[in-house]
Structure 1
């Protein structure tokens, strides 16, 4: 038998129906926050809110996902990935579009809770489908491309959101209706993954947790949490408000976020190539190095050039870490518990996304953003040391 060349293993099988459906769903997911992030100052002014209260538009979106992601993982392992993904796509789209007609900010937050639950179902099932279908370097390649698609969508949507925010505060939310054609595509194009229908409830959760009770799980779960705290605290929350203080428009804010996500997309796309040369733990350590440098640059030089440079470096770190985080977790568990393991990752991811904006905006109200940026850089440096120590 002829060995498959490493270059072939690192290639993405673009003709795979699973890959096409997963990437289409993943491309929709960035509508959740990057679309509305440039509009935060506009929403704040429209409803007469503080920065911290306006940031709830981001944080509330992730609250139910923190709690319900393991339940969604249980459903995906018990009944199948498709039966969770398709309803999640439909609910995500309809709830998002409904926000445009909300009469007040409390209603906006209530509907965002529903939409966030649906988003959790999308995140859990898409990554699990990749873990089911592929192994080794090929899995890293597809996970890297999936992160790249996510970042590419997140690069485009801030521009769209920034432009629509100049029309009205609620115009960006109409873009969520784009998810309805993706829902139909997933229903028609995705074949259900064969799963073993084991008992659910407490027994399932206990077995899933036992499969994760190992030292190797510390790095991916801690990294998933810290990545989102830094990304959503620094880039998604602090950067728009810093640029708004300089008098820049939502469109320019969108351009900065686009540059950050574009770099993340390019770096993530190379994960399969990197995985053929470095372990996932070392790739994650490189990502932490970017987390150390990026916020420190903004702290040292809070000008437009410094903000852009720091955000871009941090974006590169996200592109390095997240595909390797999911590859590590996929290797730790068998198929029947994979959605459960990745749903826990989704819970800590959503927790980081919820904590990041509120903590940064809330603390900055007393200290300003610069001390927080320095602290973020120190967390990144500590992450490099901890990752390398735990991987020995």
Structure 2
């Protein structure tokens, strides 16, 4: 599947640096959705110890925003193509702040679950907007570079929030929930910096309506989404077992300090940054399918190493390997898919891809639960790691078969 060439007229001037910063920070807010409170899971489990099924519910509390995102990201994408994106950003930021900080005051598990659901609706809006603006404001090779930088920004944001969440969780398990309030200044920056582009987009839409072009006749690339969306779902469903189960695996290995747990998990995102930053450079030499194959293989190898770890050192080595595979993978999904999407449907495409990612995140504890019962924590990491290696090998074989006629991959 080769990407269609981009007409010269479609290539816009590079946005100002502060516009880039605003889009990057909007993207970085996504990682805060679930991972921020990972270090609080043991304390949360102890606080709600009298609740039946708390082992599974603890993982679901972490990933519940993903379920809401599954049901709201499509709507957010539809709105991003049709309404004022600035108003959508305000609504998303308020939902994000209110729902995310709910752990500071929720006294019962239903209250906490409701807050996590509200947070998911906010994340659906912010991630869809970040993805849509990224596709709109950067084109061609510049988009590949921007998506790589965006992936690195998400990784850096993950390091910051996991360390901050871990530090605050040492004071009280509720402390990590205050990190979600960072969305308010970030959204304010986005409102200011993206205002000119939002006005231009409104003018373009008004002109299209006046000329009778309000309804696009361009076909949506459903076949490509079926492929990319399926891979994104599988990637997240397996990968997100790490933040939901690793705190308990570390406890099993004798690590109980919440800040140390947060620091170990932060190595996962730290290791992903070089691969994300070099994504634009990598795409000059290898195609998207090769990156998909290598990413799954590396992430699988990392999980296998973690499964065999007898202490902290082994876990850290495994997370570094898995992070190296994750780095170029995230921008690869977005860049590859957006290269096939008509400009008038990028919001819709962003919403659908967001849905696929977070459906996988929500499914992660449901995938892991029966495996943990059957094989234990280390056995679960081993089984899922081997599954990723097999998938990566299968994609690699497909790449080799496609490359037989020519040496280049689109």
Q: Indicate the residue corresponding to 1:7 in structure 2.
A: none
* Residues 1:374 and 1:298: Cα distance change in structure 2 (over 3 Å): same
Q: Is residue 254 from structure 1 mapped to residue 271 from structure 2 by the alignment? A: no
What is the rounded CA distance, in whole Å, between the counterparts of 1:30 and 1:91 in structure 2? 16
Q: 2:121: which partner in 1?
A: 117
Instruction: Indicate conservation of the 8 Å contact 1:212/1:341, yes or no.
Output: no
Query: Structure 2: where are the runs of 5+ without partners?
Result: 1-12, 403-410
Q: What's the secondary structure of 2:240's corresponding residue? A: helix
Query: Which residue is 2:48 aligned to?
Result: 47
For 1:93, which of 97, 102, 110 is the aligned residue? 97
Contact 1:73–1:343 (CA under 8 A) maintained in structure 2: yes
Distance 1:302 1:338 in 2: 46
What pairs with 1:146-295 in structure 2 (closer than 5 Å)?
146-190=150-194, 191-192=197-198, 194=201, 196=205, 210-214=219-223, 216-233=224-241, 235-248=242-255, 249-295=257-303
Partner of 2:9: none
Displacement of 1:218 in angstroms is 4.3
TM-score, normalisation: structure 2: 0.85
Contact 1:237 1:361 in 2 (8 A): no
Which position in structure 2 is the counterpart of 1:363?
Answer: 371
- Over 3 Å counting, the alpha-carbon distance change for 1:205 and 1:356 in structure 2 is farther
Q: Which residue of 2 aligns with 1:8?
A: none
Task: Note if contact 1:141-1:273 (Cα within 8 Å) is conserved in structure 2.
Answer: yes
Q: Distance in 2 between matches of 1:285 and 1:128?
A: 26
CA–CA distance in structure 2, aligned partners of residues 137 and 336 of structure 1: 20
CA contact (8 A) 2:35 2:62 kept: no
Partner in structure 2 of residue 30 of structure 1: 31
Query: In structure 1, what is the Cα distance between the partners aligned to 2:267 and 2:163?
Result: 10
Deviation at 1:231, TM superposition (A): 2.2
Q: Which structure 1 residue ranges, 4+ long, deviate > 6 Å from structure 2?
A: 204-208
Residue pair 1:285, 1:387 contacting (<8 A) in 2 also: yes
Counterpart position of 1:4:
none
Q: For each residue in 1:51-108, what CA deviation from the matched residue of structure 2 results, as whole angstroms up to 9, or x when unmatched? A: 2111111121111111111111000011243332332123211222233111111100
1:96-124 Cα distance to aligned partner (Å, 9 max, x none):
22331111111000111011111011111
Deviation at 1:328, TM superposition (A): 0.7
Q: Normalising to structure 1: TM-score of the pair?
A: 0.88
Q: Which segment is superposed worse, 55-64 or 295-304?
A: 295-304
Secondary structure of 1:79's aligned partner: coil
| 8 Å contact kept, 1:55–1:361 | no
How much does 1:16 deviate? Answer: 3.5
In 1, are the aligned partners of 2:228 and 2:333 still within 8 Å (CA)? yes
Structure 1 window deviating more from structure 2 (224-233 vs 236-245): it is 224-233
On the 8 A contact 2:144/2:331 being kept in 1, the answer is yes
Say whether residues 1:304 and 2:292 are aligned partners. no
CA contact (8 A) 1:236 1:357 kept: no
Question: Which runs of 5 or more structure 1 residues have no equivalent in the other structure?
Answer: 1-11
| In 2, Cα distance between equivalents of 1:13 and 1:252 | 41
Q: What SS does the corresponding residue of 1:78 show, helix, strand or coil?
A: coil
SS at 1:55 equivalent: helix
CA contact (8 A) 1:292 1:380 kept: yes
Q: For residues 58 and 98 of structure 1, do their structure 2 counterparts lie closer, same or farther at Cα, with a shift above 3 Å needed? A: closer
Change (3 A) 1:382 1:205: farther
| Rounded Cα–Cα distance in structure 1 between residues aligned with 2:131 and 2:29 | 14
2:159 is equivalent to residue 139 of structure 1: no
Question: Who wins on radius of gyration, i.e. which is larger?
Answer: 2
Question: Aligned to 1:52, what secondary structure does the other structure show?
Answer: helix
Shift of 1:207: 7.5
Query: Deviation of residue 302 (structure 1)?
Result: 4.4
What is the rounded CA distance, in whole Å, between the counterparts of 2:240 and 2:48 in structure 1? 22
Over the aligned positions, Cα root-mean-square deviation in angstroms equals 2.4
| In 2, Cα distance between equivalents of 1:384 and 1:264 | 18
Q: 1:295·1:311 contact (CA, 8 Å) conserved in 2?
A: yes
Residue 362 of structure 1: CA displacement? 4.8
Q: 1:168 to 1:14 in 2, by over 3 A?
A: farther
Query: For residues 160 and 361 of structure 1, do their structure 2 counterparts lie closer, same or farther at Cα, with a shift above 3 Å needed?
Result: farther
Q: Distance in 2 between matches of 1:315 and 1:207?
A: 41
